[in-house]
Structure 1
Amino acid sequence: MTIRFATDDEINRWDNLVVHNSDRGNMLQGSVFLNLKRLANWRPRFIICGELAIGAIEKHIPLFGKVWYIPKGPGVATASELASIVPVLRDFARQQGVFTIKIEPELLRGTDISAIELLPTRPIQYNASTVIVDLHSDLDTILKDLPQKGRHAIRRADRDGVIIKRVPVNDETCQAMYDLFKETADGAGFTIRSPQYYREFYQQYADANQGQLFFAYYQDQLVAGAFAVILGTKSTYKDGASVRKRTAYGASHRLQWEVIKWAKEHGSLEHDLCGTPASDEMSNPNHPRYGLGRFKTSFNKHITDYIGAFEIPVSPIKSRLWSKYIERLVRRLYFMRHHESYY
């Protein structure tokens, strides 16, 4: 199997290559996301391994070398496909001065990868477990097949006068979305990135015709917002936020239904609600994402669990040190300095 960096022509049509991977692509393997990471001083790397397009981001770690992170990839569909590319990718990375590669392939939990030389590590992305809504059917059928709680909330919101708008990405709408997001984060106890990051994120996806911002209004007041992304036949509910004081029952459900309609219009066949507790943790009310899980399972009760994240130990000693000790310290120091995630 051959492996090399992509040509300029391949980089220019990168998204088309990614959606033809075995897993049919992922937005975090797309060119917009990879290039956005330049804002945090990561270098995007576009790699062709056999027939597979692999997007990585690269950063230099003093005294160690380079780390590669392949977000929600590589885009394989089977354990055997992963097994075939890992040694090739490892040898190629070694030639580039890389000491470890973090991967997050979307293989289902329970997939046997024991024969592959990998080190388990903490996932970076929050949809290692998630809810996926099947969009193959027409909208009437999709609505009918939703769990009763979801259908009821959507219809109730319509009856009560909740209004959903697809809004352009600009300074005003981005600030409004950020204010909602910050209110949600403060209430739930999680951290978010800077306003500038989200402004750039939303703008670049909107400019690429891959993203849309949505607002929900009740009695002329903004009560919820969402940003969704599509790449190929997969859509993702990337960000969502709402006012802490519940003003209209079902507003967030009706907002998500509009996202689904938009995704369906743009060719999506599966819609990722992007993050829940694992299926065996969903009944735990103390889980930090319990509330999110309850909301998202009102669109599909089935939770999809993936195998999680792993390190490919290019330099075994350095990779283990990184995974067990150094990475945690680097991430903590980075957060203390920048108040946002290292990755």
Structure 2
Amino acid sequence: MTVVLPEAATARPVRRTDTAPLRVVPVPAAEHAAWAAAHGAVSFLQSPSWGRVKAGWRAESLAWTGAEGRTVGAALVLYRDIPGLGRSFAYLPEGPVIDWDRPDLGRWLEPLVELLRSRGVFTLRLGPPLDLRVWTAGTVRAAVRTGDRVGLRDVLPDAVDPVGTRVVERLRGLGWEPAGRDTQPRFTFRLPLAGREPEDLWAGLSPEWRRNIRRAQASGVTVTEGAAEDVEAFYALVAQTQLRGGFDLGRGLAYYQRQFAELNAELPGRIRLFLAQYRGELLAAHTLVTAGRRAWYLTGGSASHERQVRPSNALQWSMIRAAHRLGAETYDLRGVQPSLDRAGPDYGLLRWKLGTGGRVVEGVGEWELALNRPLHLAFRRYLARRKG
């Protein structure tokens, strides 16, 4: 049965009843970081430090101010400049952080649009941090067993978020359109941690996961937390994983070193590196990011041998417990593909994440507004050719 999520089910900015004009103004990165830390429900992708990670982009912190200059929203904006044109593409990953569930949503977005238009932005892309639909692990497994469902959208969800549904309608009404391809994953896998004890989390794991964790422990796999000097070894495993899987994330060692340095410079411990070793050899390494009441499994790599001792299961169990100790209410294992084809190339990752006992969440996706239609269409054609 599909249920409607209560409006308080996900953390959002406190509703404001004032109707004072809103302004969007640049703010110092430190002020933005302090506001985001106090808010508690801001993605790490909306932290100023993320802008310093993204080489090739210009980053700017913006704030929405209302009555008496009070900050009521904020955003990290990433600009990709087009050489020789004096124009740029603007992207707000998992942002902005505003009161999205307002009937006057245009009042919040219009000052942002006007500011960026004045700066030569030809396309503005937003990633509203809102959900649409939720499927529990049990529902997904049942759909896979029947074999008559092609993808998640063919399966009745366990919950529907009314806020996300309303925002999609309002964005369309304001002239926004879905992005051609989302930069951030539309479907993510999340494990609820709030109100649960470690034994509850253990009981929620699939029998296969519990068996694999016990196997790793019995085999002598040890999990420790690494430091900056371990990032190079972590990257070597990420490279092995890409080669084995036939994909390329397009990020070199310098990217991961910068990521580790910048996120931890903003807040010590924001990104942590977990290492799984067996007989003195590093077999797997994963990164954990925390921001406010949320935690994310960001990137992982593993060796191509000794896989029978299940180092990745041991790593993830350690990271889940660490996120729980740190007070996270949700552990996000990031993207999954919505295909339910057991013979398909993406099902293995979905099956692995299902073993944690979490749920698949479909977000509202990313939305674009064309501020210069010819350049916007040309840029979309370029992206389609590059990714196609």
TM-score (norm 1): 0.85
Q: Tell me which amino acid in the other structure corresponds to 2:62.
A: I
Cα distance per residue 1:243-262 (max 9 Å; x no partner): 12343343211101111222
Give the Cα–Cα distance (whole angstroms) in 1 for the partners of residues 296 and 257 of structure 2: 18
From 31, 54, 64, give the equivalent of 1:49: 64
Give the Cα–Cα distance (whole angstroms) in 2 for the partners of residues 94 and 104 of structure 1: 18
Give the Cα–Cα distance (whole angstroms) in 1 for the partners of residues 98 and 204 of structure 2: 30
CA contact (8 A) 2:192 2:358 kept: no
* CA displacement at 1:87 relative to structure 2: 2.7
Query: Is 2:379 the counterpart of 1:319?
Result: no
Q: 1:181-220 residue pairs with structure 2 within 5 A? A: 181-192=238-249, 193-207=251-265, 208-209=267-268, 210-220=270-280
From 270, 278, 281, give the equivalent of 2:330: 270
From 352, 364, 378, give the equivalent of 1:295: 352
Per the alignment, residue 159 of structure 2 pairs with: none
* CA displacement at 1:203 relative to structure 2: 2.3
Query: Is 2:181 the counterpart of 1:161?
Result: no
Query: Is 2:115 the counterpart of 1:59?
Result: no
TM-aligned CA distance change 1:83 to 1:159, over 3 Å:
farther
Query: Is 2:26 the counterpart of 1:6?
Result: yes
* Secondary structure of 2:169 counterpart: coil
CA contact (8 A) 1:6 1:48 kept: yes
Give the Cα–Cα distance (whole angstroms) in 2 for the partners of residues 204 and 235 of structure 1: 17
Give the Cα–Cα distance (whole angstroms) in 2 for the partners of residues 305 and 31 of structure 1: 26
Cα distance per residue 1:44-98 (max 9 Å; x no partner): 1111124111111112224371210111222356454755433332122112221
CA contact (8 A) 1:86 1:312 kept: no
Query: Is 2:200 the counterpart of 1:141?
Result: yes
Per the alignment, residue 24 of structure 1 pairs with: 41
Structure 1 portions without partners, runs of 5+: 333-343
Q: 1:90-105 residue pairs with structure 2 within 5 A? A: 90-105=113-128
Per the alignment, residue 257 of structure 1 pairs with: 317
Q: Tell me which amino acid in the other structure corresponds to 2:343.
A: P
Give the Cα–Cα distance (whole angstroms) in 2 for the partners of residues 198 and 224 of structure 1: 16
TM-score (norm 2): 0.76
Cα distance per residue 1:257-285 (max 9 Å; x no partner): 1112222222211111011112xx13453
Give the Cα–Cα distance (whole angstroms) in 2 for the partners of residues 156 and 230 of structure 1: 28
Give the Cα–Cα distance (whole angstroms) in 1 for the partners of residues 100 and 295 of structure 2: 22
CA contact (8 A) 1:242 1:252 kept: yes
* CA displacement at 1:108 relative to structure 2: 1.9
CA contact (8 A) 2:22 2:108 kept: no
Structure 1 or 2, whichever has the larger Rg, is 2
Query: Is 2:132 the counterpart of 1:109?
Result: yes
Cα distance per residue 1:85-126 (max 9 Å; x no partner): 33332122112221111112222236241342212221112x
Q: Tell me which amino acid in the other structure corresponds to 2:189.
A: V
Give the Cα–Cα distance (whole angstroms) in 1 for the partners of residues 37 and 308 of structure 2: 38
After the TM superposition, which of the residue ranges 233-242 and 135-144 deviates more from structure 2?
A: 135-144
Give the Cα–Cα distance (whole angstroms) in 2 for the partners of residues 322 and 248 of structure 1: 46
Per the alignment, residue 153 of structure 2 pairs with: none
* Secondary structure of 1:260 counterpart: helix
**Percent identity over paired residues:** 23
